[in-house]
Structure 1
C-alpha cells in the first residue's frame, strides 16, 4: 500500500519536471502544475492503515508495547495478528487472545521462537506461510528488548551483549527472512536512550542505535522501514510506579496507552523513517545533564555497610525519635553515596551528594530492608526534602500521621464507600455483603454459552465500571494505598464458568464468588444449560457495583 503512494508521489514529480521543460509560448493549452512542490506529502488515510485481508507479525506481541500494537492492529481490523516470542503464553495471555477474537474478530496466533536463531526463525516463517495460504504478511513490528543496566565501568562483555542480541541479531534475522515479502511496514521499536544517552544503559543505547541506522539502510535499498524512538512508556518495563516517579523527577514522563496509540497512528500515517515520541521536561533535563557533567568525578562504590541492625528504637520523646531516624538515614545514605557520614547534615539534600535514580533505588531498598517501610521515591528525587524531612516521613508512618489530601492524592483514589467494602473483604473474603448475585433464565433460542460470553464481553466493553480493579500503590500516593484502574477490554480476564446442572451450580458457587479486587474485575458468570432452557448467574463485586448500578 505504501509503495502505491510512493509511486503516486514520484509520478506527480515527474509530471512537474516534464511541465517545467515545456516552452512558455505553448503553455496555454497545457495542464498547469506550477503549484506542485517537491515537498508535497501524500499520507495514507487513517482508515487504510491496516489491510483487513492481511496478517501482521508482532515480536513480543502479548506483553508491554507489543501488546499495545497487537490491540491497535486488531482494532483496525487486521485479519490475523501473529505474536512471536521466546516463551509460550500464560493463562492470562490465553484469555487475552480469546478476547481479541470475540471482541475484534481478529485471529491471534502465537509462535515460540528465539529471534537470535536464524534457522529457528526460518522454520517458523515457512510454517506460517503454509498456514496462511493466500493471506499475505503485510507488516512486521519488532519490539524485542532486554535490559541489563550497569554503569560502563562495571560492564562485562556478557552484560553488554544481553540487550544487544535481540536488537541487532533479531533485527538482522527478521530482515533476512522477509527479504522476498512485500511489506507495507517494517517497524522497529527503539528508545530515546539512543538519542539522549543514559550512563547506566550504554549497552541498551548501542542496540537501539543499530535499529535507528538499520531503518535508514532499509529505506536506502527501497524497502519498507520505520524506527520509533520511544520515551518512557506506562506499559512493559515502564509500568512500575517507582520507575515512573524516578524518571519524572529527571524530566521523563510516562506516555499513557492512549498516547502510545496516537503516536503509532501518526508514525504509520506520515511514514517518516525515524520518529521520536517522548514526554520530556527539557529544562529539567538540561539541568540534569549539567549536574552529571559536574559530578562525573564521583567514584563507583561496590560495598555497603551492614545496616540491618541500625534501625532506631522506639522512644517516648518525639524529638528523640526524630533524631534517631535522622541518624539512621544519614548512615544509610553515607554508605550508598560513598561519603563520610559527618558530611551529611540534618538539613542536607541528598541530590547534592550525587544521588541519582540508580542510587535512589539502592537507598530505598536498604531503608526498606531495615525498617519495612517503603520510602516514597518523590521524597528523594524532588530536591526539596532534607534528611530531616525524610526521617519525618518514616516517623509519620510509624505514628500514622499522614494526612495527605491534595488533588493528586484524591484523583483515582477509592471512595469512602468502596473502602468500606474493601474493609469487609479484608476482614472476611466470604462476607455475603461483599457480593451481589443475580439469576436469569434463558430461552432455548438463547441457550448458548458462547453467545452469552460474547454478549457479556460487549457489556463489559461499554461499562467501564465492569473493567475496574484497584491497583496497589506506594504508601501515601493514594487513599488507602489503592488506585482505581480501568482496564482495556482486551486486558480483561473474564471468569465464565459452565456447569452441568443446577446442583453443581450451587455446589461450586461459594468458591467462584470469591473476589480479589486487586486483580479481579467486578463480575463473574456461571452458566448452566439444559435441553429446554439455560440458567445464568451474575456475581458482582460490591467494591465497584452498587444496587443502583444493577
Structure 2
C-alpha cells in the first residue's frame, strides 16, 4: 500500500527572491606576465586611430592591419587579433549603437567563416561598455556589443574573448597580461579597472537584500499619476497592468503599442481594468519614433502627470551569428534601443518615481542564436546604469523565459525549450513573474536578473559565469576537454576497427538525441539526412559544439552539411580520433615534408638522414614484393642523394 501525508516544516523553502540574481565582478587572482605565444595583430574597425592608440601603449610587438584579409594572407596568422572598438560621443547614441553593432557583427562573420584564421582568437576590446560596480557610468554605444558577442561566444566556443577597459593608462598596459591569463584560465570575458582584472560572476540576490522602501517603487506610485506601459497590449503588458491596479492601486494607465486598440484582446483588457476601478487609455504609438512618442506624452493630462514608465515592448528575430543580417539587428533594436532611448530622453525632465525596463537574461547569459536580441537588451541594462549615474530612477530586469506564451516565445519548439532546460533555465509562471517583479523593484540596483535557474543542471564543467552558483566552482574547460580527449582516444585504441565504428556512432547518436530531445539514442536513424531528422542551423551548431566538447577536436560549423548523415559523420570522426595505419603514415609524411623544407641538402648530407630514409624505403620495398622476388629497392642503400630525392618526389608524391 501507499500512504501519503502532507509535507510540513520544509527547511529553507525557496521564495521568489531566490530567483533574483545580480552580476558581480570579483577580481581575478594576481595576473603575472603575458602567456601570449608570439606577436599579435591589431585590427581597427574602420578606425586606424584606435588601432594606433592601442599599439602605442602595448609593451609588445604588434602589427596594425587594415582588414582580416590582410591577416589571413600572412604565412603564420597571429594567435591573437586585437580589435579595439572606437569610443563614441553621446550626440548620436542610437545611430552609433546601430552602426557599431553592425560593424562588429560583420567583422565576426568574416572571421568565423575564414578557415585560414581558425587558429587565431579575436580579442574584442571595449571601453567602459559594462559597469563593474553600481557607481560606474557606461558607454551606451559600445554596450550592445557585449550582448552580441556573448551569444556568438556560445555558438563558437574558444574563438572570441571580450575585454573592457577604463580610461586609465594602467588598464591598457595590463591588457596583454590579462589576455594571457584569460586564455590560460578559459575566461571568455574580462574587465580591467586600473591594474585590477575582474571577471563576471552570477550571484544570487540574498533575501531581504533588495533595499529601499518596504513597499518598493510600485508601493510609492503617486496617487492619480499616470503609468505608461509600452507593449501594454502584449501578454506581459496585460499582466503588469492588471497587477498594478489590483496590487498597487494604480488608477491611471496609458497602454501604448504599435497596434493600440486594434491589438487582440485590447478592448477586453480596457473594460476589465476599468471594472477594477482604473482609468485606461489604449493608444497606437511606435515609441521607436521620437515624434510619435512626443505626441503621446503631450496628450497626458496635467492633472494626471506621468509618474512611472514601464518599458515592456520588444520583438525577436532569431538567427545564428553567421547568418544574422543588419536588417534583423535593426528590427530588434527598434523597440528596445530606439524606444528606450526616446523614453529616457523625453522624460528625463519629469519627476518620475519609476523607470523600469523589461530586458532579457540573454544579454548576460548569451545563449546561441539570439545575438541581435542579446545586443539590444544589453543596451537596456547599460541605460539603467547610465540613468542612475545621472541621478535618475532606472532599472533593467533581465527576464528568463515565461511559461505563458508571449509574442516573443510563441515560436519556441520542443527542441528550443529542451535547450533552455538543459542550460539550467526553468520557465517563469505568471504568478511567479509578478512576484519577481515586485521583489526586483524593491532593489536599488540598476540591473537584476529574474530567471529561475536549476543549479543541478549546472553541475560539472559549468561556464565561468555560473561558477559562484556551483559547488566547487567551474571546471577548467581546457583541462576537462584534454582529459575527455585522452580518455576517448585510449578507449578507441583498445577496440577493434568495427568496435571503434560502433563506439563513435553511439557518441554521435547520443549527442543527436540530446539536441533533438529524443527519449533515447536508439531512436536516431543513422542513414537519414540531418535535415530530415529535424536539424536547422541552430541545432547544427549545438551538435557541433557537443561533439567538439566530447572529442576535444575543433570541428567546423558546417559539420552536418559536410557529412549529411549521422553515419557519414561518425565515420569522419572515427578517422580523426582513431586514424588507420595508412592515415597515420600519410600524416607523418606530411610532417616530414614540411620539416625537410626547412633544412638544406648540406644538412641532409652531414647527418644520418639519408641513410635512415634509404633504410625505410628498403623496408617498404620488401613489404610490397612477393616472397622470393628481388626488389630493386634493395639497391637504395647505394643510391646517391639526387637519386633518393627523385625517388621520394616521384614515387611517394610528397614533393
Question: Scaled by the length of structure 1, what TM-score is found?
Answer: 0.46
Instruction: Tell which structure's C-alpha radius of gyration is larger.
Output: 2
Q: Which is bigger in relative contact order (C-alpha 8 A, separation at least 6)?
A: 2
